[in-house]
Structure 1
Amino acid sequence: MCSSCGARYEDDGLILDCSRRHEPAFLRTEYDGTAEHTGTGLFRHARLMPVVRTFPDVPGPVVYRAGELGRRLGLTRLWIAFNGYWPERGAQLPTCTFKDLEAYTVLGRLPADPPVLVIPSAGNTAAAFAWASTRHQVPCLILVPAPALDGMRFPGPLDPCVRIVVLDGDATYSDAITCAELLALLPGHQAEGGSRNVARRDGLGTVMLAAAEAIGCLPQTYVQAVGSGTGAIGAHEAARRIRSGDEPLPRLLLCQNTPFAPLYEAWHSGGQARADREHEPCLLYTRDSRRPPFTVRGGVREALCESGGDVLCADNEAALAAMALFEEIEGIDIEPGAGVALAALADAVRSGRVDRDELILLNVTGGGRARQAGDLALVPAVPWLRAVWTPGGEGPRAVAEQVGRQLSTATSGAGR
């Protein structure tokens, strides 16, 4: 259903936008099923996911009450949704972040014989789609700036159906997006869609579904680090579906890493989210944050307003201290984004923006990467193509032409 005009569509697994002419607006899913749970893992919540197929043995979030961590923060009812690798807790997400949840949901939504998905990423999304597509033989073309390749390591080698294009030079995530928009126009290719893809948001929204099941009700406050805000929108949409009667929606507390905090600035100034900078400052935590869906109908601003939420910030020093605290108490490493969220939550408690007795759900969006590297022999990703990036207006088109030529060569049988 269109968030702007209310038009309804039968899902074909690929639709991203309303066909009517109006303001930018997200499509939202509506389900005939209930929140009844069957099976285990991610697809335990398949009745509230836009999937036409499920995959076996896909893990989901792990939700538990964090008593000692809560006490250290001054909270009496802190719950954690852990998304990552932590065998003792039963957490087994293969690429160690909640991006695995969205990747498998997007693949489960696709029709039979799907087009090649074109996916730009700053790192975690690329890893999640690469491994999920490898496991289930779904062709995809992934574009990443060169620094993202260093973090792409997997439990095994990638399948040839996964083609990773690395943008060498000074290319940014925004440049990868621009290139992907051109490559999605190639015959047989399709833009995956990012936050416009209902499967992404609903897959990430399973964190809220799992938490409500474990806790027995919706949390009062939901805390998450955000880049684009897609996961927070997904959590908000999931809460809207499953709340009973006049049960209040969880208040969204979204967290960003200063000094580059476009959603924080947009929310507190009442304006648009800031675009990418020519020279981005050094951040502990960067994610897909250059084009956040802030003002789009059904986007971040609406979710914040409807939930009575807020956007918070934490700097590098506070985030690093929070990461160390979590590992000290819980015994597992967490990703910088989760450290930002924990640091911002701690500050909110100290300042009185969060009451000590609130029922809090902290989404640890990634963790256990160091533990996984110690437990498993991980295989680094091998690029299908390293594209020479040249700054300026011709850069994206030049990359698209390089990729097109390489695809033509592969199709002709002269090489892959």
Structure 2
Amino acid sequence: MSGVRPGTRHYTVVCSSCGTRYEDDGLLLDCSGRHEPAFLRTEYPVYGTSGTRAGGDTGLFRHAPLLPVARTFPDVPGPVVHRAERLGRRIGLDRLWIAFNGYWPERGAYLPTCTFKDLEAYTVLGRLPADPPVLVIPSAGNTAAAFAWAATRHRVPCLLVVPAPALERMRFPAPLDPCVRLVVLDGTATYSDAIACADLLAALPGHHAEGGSRNVGRRDGLGTVMLAAADALGRLPETYVQAVGSGTGAIGAHEAAGRLRADGEAPPRLLMCQNAPFAPLYEAWRCTGAAAPADREHEPLARELTNRRPPFGVRGGVRDVLTESGGDVLCTDNVAALAAMALFEEVEGVDIEPGAGVALAALADAVRTGRVRRDELVLLNVTGGGRVRQAHDLPLVPARPWLRVPWPGIEQGPRAVAEQVARELSGLAAVAEGAR
């Protein structure tokens, strides 16, 4: 456990709005002050690239000095950063680098659930107090998979809420531990429905909202993509490209870059990419006022990007980091994303997730239209890949839901689900008490 002593906290949590400083308890999500919604952020005593690595650690926790953790876990892989000259030539870039998050043995990439959500899951778990409550986490699939496997390996209680299509991404090297409970919403339920249900379930006794983008562990864990890139490049990239749903990963990358920047150095320009026809951040950034119709959440190729409640106007959120970095939000469609996925596999030799295809397609279009210069130093975050390769190489076990709930429609739906889960938990508690 190099770099972080178990149980200690080497950082401070600070409100982005009022500057109030907190000693972290591992669960803090919001400032207690009365002001506009604002993210908490972390401050560390050591900055600069020489301070981002803990001697002796590899993978994710080599960056423990810039992670809000009270403990680290052994053998957790991190991002793999490499120069992609052939792919760059195909889309018109001379200096394209890739941060690959997934399973790609030839490159030394072994993230267990094939996306950069593994980075946030282990960081959030490392931030928790010694005897944590049950974390309640909604997901479109990738986040649930990452938390399910990390929590299984280290026996941390979690309640995961997902729409039924997410089950296709829930395959693991072994069965999930009983401390991980998977609630599946059947029927027409969407990611937004899972979020609404989780909000109610987090109020149950002994349960606690994981917090999503409000959790400093999530943002800083995802920010290790930027830390790994700085290690590989010897500097920060000029432009950072990533597909986004909430924008949490891009915010984390921006915050991480801020800890590494020299005085007067410009931050990497953030290019956030969304998948039409569901692109709420794209619409908000352009102030069109357009709202996605209710059924559009089912239409994008990259379902992991369908977040109806992204932290756009929060202090320290998407709008702020786009403004500070001189960034932009790009948008591409399913056809272009599929073509980009095929191009990556042809050139690089491994499959990538739809979200990564969205980012590559949007970047290629930005180069064609002159938004990105040919000689620009670009870091493309491939947020997930190698799922097909992993299934070929390893025997995987499909996750078994703890509870499947027929989705009753939008009227009273989340409350009905919360009540059913509460009944199931009460029944389990009664059985356990009888056994004693």
Query: TM-score, structure 1 length as denominator?
Result: 0.97
Match of 2:8 in 1: none
**2:17 equivalent to 1:4:** yes
Match of 2:384 in 1: 366
Counterpart CA distance in 1 for 2:31 and 2:116 is 27
- One-letter code of the match for 2:294? R
**Retained in 1: the 8 A contact 2:241–2:378?**
yes
**2:46 equivalent to 1:37:** no
Question: What RMSD over aligned residues (CA atoms) do the two structures have, in Å?
Answer: 1.5
Once the two structures are superposed, residues 169-209 of structure 1 have per-residue CA deviations (whole angstroms, 9 ceiling, x without a partner) of 22211111111111111111100000000000000000000
Counterpart CA distance in 2 for 1:107 and 1:388 is 30
Query: Which runs of 5 or more structure 2 residues have no equivalent in the other structure?
Result: 1-13
Match of 1:334 in 2: 352
Alignment of structure 1 residues 174-185 onto 2, 5 Å: 174-185=192-203
Match of 1:145 in 2: 163
- One-letter code of the match for 2:321? A
- One-letter code of the match for 1:12? D
Alignment of structure 1 residues 23-172 onto 2, 5 Å: 23-34=36-47, 35-38=51-54, 39-172=57-190
Query: TM-score, structure 2 length as denominator?
Result: 0.93
SS in 2 for 1:29: strand
Counterpart CA distance in 2 for 1:173 and 1:329 is 33
Q: CA deviation at 1:298?
A: 0.3
Counterpart CA distance in 1 for 2:206 and 2:163 is 24
Q: Point out the more displaced range, 397-406 or 368-377.
A: 397-406
Counterpart CA distance in 1 for 2:60 and 2:297 is 35
SS in 1 for 2:352: coil
**Retained in 2: the 8 A contact 1:54–1:108?**
yes
Shift in alpha-carbon separation, 1:379–1:217, aligned structure 2, 3 A:
same
- One-letter code of the match for 2:211? G
Once the two structures are superposed, residues 43-102 of structure 1 have per-residue CA deviations (whole angstroms, 9 ceiling, x without a partner) of 000000000000000000000011111111111111000000001100000000000000
Match of 1:13 in 2: 26
Match of 1:409 in 2: 427
Query: Which runs of 5 or more structure 1 residues have no equivalent in the other structure?
Result: none
Q: Identity rate of aligned residues, in percent? A: 77
Once the two structures are superposed, residues 254-312 of structure 1 have per-residue CA deviations (whole angstroms, 9 ceiling, x without a partner) of 111111111111111276x8467245352111225211110111000000000000111
Counterpart CA distance in 2 for 1:102 and 1:180 is 18
**Retained in 1: the 8 A contact 2:102–2:112?**
yes
Match of 1:235 in 2: 253
Counterpart CA distance in 2 for 1:122 and 1:3 is 28
Counterpart CA distance in 1 for 2:35 and 2:267 is 28
- One-letter code of the match for 2:19? G
Q: 1:280 aligns with which of 297, 306, 318?
A: 297
Once the two structures are superposed, residues 345-364 of structure 1 have per-residue CA deviations (whole angstroms, 9 ceiling, x without a partner) of 11111111111111000000
**Retained in 2: the 8 A contact 1:17–1:27?**
yes
- One-letter code of the match for 1:152? M
**Retained in 1: the 8 A contact 2:297–2:303?**
no
Counterpart CA distance in 2 for 1:149 and 1:276 is 25
Match of 2:213 in 1: 195
- One-letter code of the match for 2:198? A
**Retained in 1: the 8 A contact 2:278–2:296?**
no
Once the two structures are superposed, residues 323-352 of structure 1 have per-residue CA deviations (whole angstroms, 9 ceiling, x without a partner) of 111111110000111111111111111111
Counterpart CA distance in 2 for 1:343 and 1:112 is 43
SS in 1 for 2:43: coil
Once the two structures are superposed, residues 242-265 of structure 1 have per-residue CA deviations (whole angstroms, 9 ceiling, x without a partner) of 111211100001111111111111
Once the two structures are superposed, residues 101-160 of structure 1 have per-residue CA deviations (whole angstroms, 9 ceiling, x without a partner) of 000000000000000000011110000000000000000000011111122111111000
Counterpart CA distance in 2 for 1:58 and 1:276 is 40
**Retained in 2: the 8 A contact 1:253–1:311?**
yes
**Retained in 1: the 8 A contact 2:60–2:79?**
yes
Q: Point out the more displaced range, 50-59 or 313-322.
A: 313-322
Match of 2:265 in 1: 247
Shift in alpha-carbon separation, 1:250–1:279, aligned structure 2, 3 A:
closer
Counterpart CA distance in 1 for 2:162 and 2:52 is 38
Once the two structures are superposed, residues 3-38 of structure 1 have per-residue CA deviations (whole angstroms, 9 ceiling, x without a partner) of 111111111100000001111110000111333412
Counterpart CA distance in 2 for 1:359 and 1:413 is 60
**Retained in 2: the 8 A contact 1:66–1:79?**
yes
**Retained in 2: the 8 A contact 1:259–1:281?**
no
Shift in alpha-carbon separation, 1:46–1:275, aligned structure 2, 3 A:
farther
